């Protein structure tokens, strides 16, 4: 670990311009032979992560859970699911990561719990217990047939109504996602305090920050007003770009409520009682950039936010405007807020396939994969890389009978859901790609085996070695890490040109987003070629 890196990690705002590597623990490395990745697997491969020259690791949920949504349905916020290990394993992971100069960010799912959480089990018993109003309960409407009907028109992200009738309590409960994920009632001050205490629990253990799942979903309209109909041709509300009941609503009353900002302030107050801690919020909203800026404005809210609008769609053409418009919109009009960007994560189609225009949605081109690493790394803000992105892994095509994602089962065959980006990492060419000694929880596609980590380490021209070289170069360029950006107009949608600069240095960046030769500014670029001052010459 370089002295430069250690010094930077000690900086109070280490997260500004940092590269954060996301691990989906189920699919990272299995060490106990059950086909599911675990915390000891992350510990075993910390040197691999450190060698990427990233600053921090974001670990997706590892808490006890019935796994209806694979960890995003939490039944105990203060422990580790036995599938992943123990609290002692987590403490070891934290200690060994810190020794390597790596920060640890954990994924907190606070808007909802599992329906198996003791709080919900107690809440649904009756209307007069200590947890009766810890969730969002509402009396039914009565339809023309005299049967109970949902209190309003709110839709679930995953399909159907956002309300489920509970026969025991004779009321509906709210769930923005699966019915097994009931929403907490943040209007209850006791809920807020319990959530803040959970944050303190992990901060006291030494975590460096939180990724806050669907952070703008915490509060709902207490009057339960109907959402209005969405404007025709509006942007889609989720990464699934299709007409659904959810996308046909303006989400005014079911999320992004003004009361949420006061809770965010309370959370920031807790964070600020600890040293050098960090918050990044996941934003899903009809107006994502306005919302992200609102949630990060000033010194009393989140440090940064990112959203899925650079990650949406299943197979689409990559153009300059697709990158330029979001970045320029945020940086020009929201100058007080710090942006974050990602091209891939555990919820979306891998960028290497999504933007591989000449492919079929499950292919990749190493030249494009390298370009995407460089393009992402040259954008202004904090950068998030998803496991396998450094390898150029394509989206996996999953047979219907192997699908695990509940959203996939709702959208099949239009979309295979999120399983295609969640398949286990290929560590070598051996059985099960070195991920496990048994059949993994998701199948590893044949297209991933040639891209395994062991093989790429030996190939100086591999996407992995390119990623290492680029991130090492980036670390020594402050104009890239914290500087400003200026886009240069072109008449070619396949060319994106910008300069990154600060008071001392300037770096010019040109990217050919298409798999054909092109010329611009007296410069010839090959297919998926790019030029970055000072990098290509090294």
Catalytic residues: 213, 282
Q: Can you name the residues that pair with 249 across neighbouring β-strands?
A: 229
Residue 99: how many CB atoms within 10 A of its CB? 11
Choose among 511, 491, 488, 514: nearest CA to 499.
Answer: 488
Angle value at C-alpha 455, between 452 and 456, nearest 5 degrees: 80
- Helix residue ranges, H only, 438-510: 453-458, 463-475, 478-481
Three-state secondary-structure class, residue 112: strand
Q: What CA–CA distance (Å, rounded) separates 69 from 178?
A: 8
DSSP states along 162-221: SEEEETTTTEEEE-SS-TTSPBB-TTSHHHHHHHHHHHHHHHHHT--EEEETTGGGS---
Name the strand (E) or helix (H) holding 21.
strand 19-23
Q: What CA–CA distance (Å, rounded) separates 340 from 446?
A: 33
Q: What CA–CA distance (Å, rounded) separates 3 from 531?
A: 29
Per 3-state DSSP, the chain is made up of helix, strand and coil in percentages (nearest 5) of 30, 15, 55
Q: What CA–CA distance (Å, rounded) separates 340 from 20?
A: 10
Residue 533: how many CB atoms within 10 A of its CB? 16
Q: Which two tokens stand for residue 289?
A: 């950039």
Name the strand (E) or helix (H) holding 510.
strand 506-512
Q: What CA–CA distance (Å, rounded) separates 135 from 429?
A: 48
Q: Strand pairing of 103-108 and 209-212?
A: parallel
For 176-198, letters b (16+ CB in 10 Å) and e give bbbbbbbbbbbbbeebbeebbeb
Three-state secondary-structure class, residue 419: helix
Name the strand (E) or helix (H) holding 500.
strand 495-501
Q: Strand pairing of 506-512 and 495-501?
A: antiparallel
> Using an 8 Å Cβ cutoff, are 498 and 488 in contact?
yes
For 482-502, letters b (16+ CB in 10 Å) and e give ebebebeeeeeebbbbbbbbe
For 23-34, letters b (16+ CB in 10 Å) and e give bbbbbbbbbbee
């Amino acid at each position: 670990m370089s002295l430069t890196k250690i010094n930077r990690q000690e900086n109070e705002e280490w997260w500004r311009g940092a590269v954060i590597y996301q691990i989906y623990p189920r699919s990272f490395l299995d060490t106990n032979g059950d086909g599911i990745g675990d915390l000891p697997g992350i510990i075993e491969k910390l040197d691999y992560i450190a060698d990427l020259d990233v600053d921090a690791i974001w670990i997706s949920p590892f808490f006890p859970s019935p796994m209806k949504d694979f960890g995003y349905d939490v039944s105990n916020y203060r422990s580790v699911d036995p599938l992943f290990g123990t609290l002692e394993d987590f403490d070891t992971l934290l200690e060994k990561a810190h020794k390597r100069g790596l920060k640890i960010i954990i994924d907190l799912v606070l808007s909802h719990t599992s329906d198996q959480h003791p709080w919900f089990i107690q809440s649904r018993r009756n209307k007069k217990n200590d947890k009766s109003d810890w969730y969002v309960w509402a009396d039914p409407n009565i339809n023309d047939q005299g049967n109970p009907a949902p209190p309003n028109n709110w839709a679930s992200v995953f399909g159907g109504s956002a309300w489920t009738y509970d026969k025991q309590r004779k009321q509906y409960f709210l769930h923005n996602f699966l019915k097994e994920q009931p929403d907490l009632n943040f209007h209850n001050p006791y809920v807020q305090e319990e959530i803040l205490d959970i944050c303190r629990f992990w901060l006291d253990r030494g975590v460096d920050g939180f990724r806050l799942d669907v952070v703008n979903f915490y509060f709902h309209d207490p009057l339960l007003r109907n959402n209005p109909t969405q404007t025709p041709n509006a942007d889609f509300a989720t990464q699934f770009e299709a007409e659904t009941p959810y996308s046909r609503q303006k989400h005014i009353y079911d999320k992004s409520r003004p009361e949420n900002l006061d809770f965010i302030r309370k959370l920031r107050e807790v964070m600020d009682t600890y040293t050098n801690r960090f918050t990044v919020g996941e934003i899903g909203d009809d107006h994502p950039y306005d919302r992200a800026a609102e949630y990060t404005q000033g010194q009393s809210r989140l440090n940064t936010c990112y959203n899925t609008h650079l990650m949406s769609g299943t197979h689409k053409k990559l153009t300059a405007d697709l990158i330029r418009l979001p970045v320029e919109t945020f940086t020009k009009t929201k100058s007080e807020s710090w942006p974050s960007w990602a091209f891939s994560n555990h919820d979306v189609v891998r960028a290497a396939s999504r933007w591989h225009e000449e492919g079929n949605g499950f292919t990749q081109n190493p030249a494009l994969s390298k370009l995407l690493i460089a393009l992402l790394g040259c954008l202004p803000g904090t950068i998030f890389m998803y496991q396998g992105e450094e390898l150029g892994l394509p989206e996996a095509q999953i047979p219907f009978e192997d699908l695990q994602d509940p959203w996939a089962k709702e959208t099949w065959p239009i979309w295979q859901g999120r399983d295609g980006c969640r398949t286990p990492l290929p560590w070598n060419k051996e059985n099960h790609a070195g991920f496990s000694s048994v059949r993994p929880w998701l199948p590893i596609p044949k297209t991933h085996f040639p891209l395994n980590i062991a093989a790429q380490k030996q190939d100086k021209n591999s996407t992995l070695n390119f990623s290492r070289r680029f991130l090492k170069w980036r670390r020594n360029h402050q104009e890239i890490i914290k500087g400003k950006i200026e886009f240069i107009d072109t008449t070619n949608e396949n060319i994106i040109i910008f300069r990154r600069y600060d008071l001392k240095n300037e770096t010019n960046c040109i990217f050919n987003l298409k798999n054909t030769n092109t010329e611009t500014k007296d410069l010839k670029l090959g297919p998926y070629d790019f030029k970055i001052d000072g990098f290509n010459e090294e």
